[in-house]
Amino acid sequence: RRARPLVRPRPGRGYSERMRFLTRKTDMVDAERALPGREEAMPVPERHVVLGTPLQPPFPDGLERAIFALGCFWGAERLFWQVPGVYTTAVGYSGGYTPNPTYEEVCSAQTGHAEAVLVVYDPAAVTYEALLRQFWEGHDPTQGMRQGNDVGTQYRSMIFWTSDAQRDQALASRDVFQERLRAAGYGEITTEIVAEQPFYYAEEYHQQYLAKHPDGYCGLGGTGVSCPVGLATG
């Protein structure tokens, strides 16, 4: 999938072509130039490979949804299905324009989507703040259109809030974590915090990928900076 790490190109033959390629991958497409997509939704497996729960609604009463993007969604999904109180997770695409995109289309940087994780959780068992902590500590939110060796608009950091309460907690957590990052020598957080947008499920082989392939690729790496539990108060 992403077998080749990003290598800084040397000046000379191929240098300009490589630079143009990387620029295209990190330039956001606009709605007018985005791929048209399709009406048919991606087939979705009935059950979560690890949790045994449904990947699609309807979900039991009382559960809430959270949606995050933090780089390669293989490793990102694993971060969240391991959290006690999480009912189910699924990977997909959000934040763009193309309806029901394919993985190849998203990787072309012509859909505007980020690789995202849907997290359905029991708020009586795990708080949204705890999920935010998992999000902030699970990747480097200062890298813009990349995450480690993975380069492109689909790897950008995003929080999609599904309620006003989630929005307020996400913004507060960003401000608190920014202080911690700055003290540790990191730059400004580039995470987009936006209202929930359509979530398009990814192909079956991407769902719970690292459970099916334990030695599979995972490009996520945190900063090593701890995000405080009391996010809103610091």
Q: In this structure, are residues 41 and 201 in contact, taking their beta carbons and an 8 Å threshold? A: yes
89-124 burial, b at 16+ Cβ within 10 Å, e below that, comes to bbbbbbbbbbbebbbebbbbbbbbbbbbbbbbbeee
Local structure of 66: helix, strand or coil: strand
CA–CA distance, 106 with 98 (Å, rounded to integer): 9
CA 187, chain centre distance (Å): 20
CA–CA distance, 36 with 42 (Å, rounded to integer): 15
pLDDT reported for residue 23: 60
72 is catalytic: yes
- What percent of the chain stands above pLDDT 70? 88
Q: Is the pLDDT of residue 229 over 90?
A: no
104 phi/psi in degrees, rounded to 5: -60, -40
Q: Give the count of beta carbons closer than 10 Å to the beta carbon of residue 51.
A: 16
pLDDT reported for residue 14: 56
pLDDT tens digits along 183-220: 999 999 999 999 999 999 999 999 999 999 999 999 89
Dihedral sign for Cα 25, 31, 36, 42, please: positive
CA–CA distance, 105 with 84 (Å, rounded to integer): 34
- Using pLDDT thresholds of 50, 70 and 90, give the confidence band for residue 6: very low
Where does the chain have alpha helices with state H?
15-26, 73-81, 103-107, 128-137, 164-183, 209-212
Q: Is the pLDDT of residue 84 over 60?
A: yes
Mean pLDDT of 36-59: 98
Q: Which two tokens stand for residue 181?
A: 């990052």
Show Cβ contacts of residue 87 under 8 Å, excluding neighbours closer than 6 positions: 51, 53, 59, 60, 63, 120, 121, 122
Q: Is the pLDDT of residue 7 over 50?
A: no
pTM of the model: 0.89
Active-site position among 72, 107, 218, 227? 72
pLDDT tens digits along 60-78: 999 999 999 999 999 999 9
Local structure of 33: helix, strand or coil: coil
pLDDT tens digits along 9-22: 444 545 555 545 55
The full DSSP string for 137-152 is HTS-TTSSSEETTEES
Burial of residue 40 (number of CB atoms within 10 Å: 0-12, 13-18, 19+): exposed
Mean pLDDT of 159-185: 97
Q: Which two tokens stand for residue 97?
A: 């324009």
Distances (CA, A) of 93 to 34, 41, 46, 190, 194: 14, 12, 19, 19, 15
Show Cβ contacts of residue 56 under 8 Å, excluding neighbours closer than 6 positions: 44, 90, 201
- How many Å is the Cα radius of gyration of the chain? 18
pLDDT tens digits along 141-166: 999 999 999 999 999 999 999 999 99
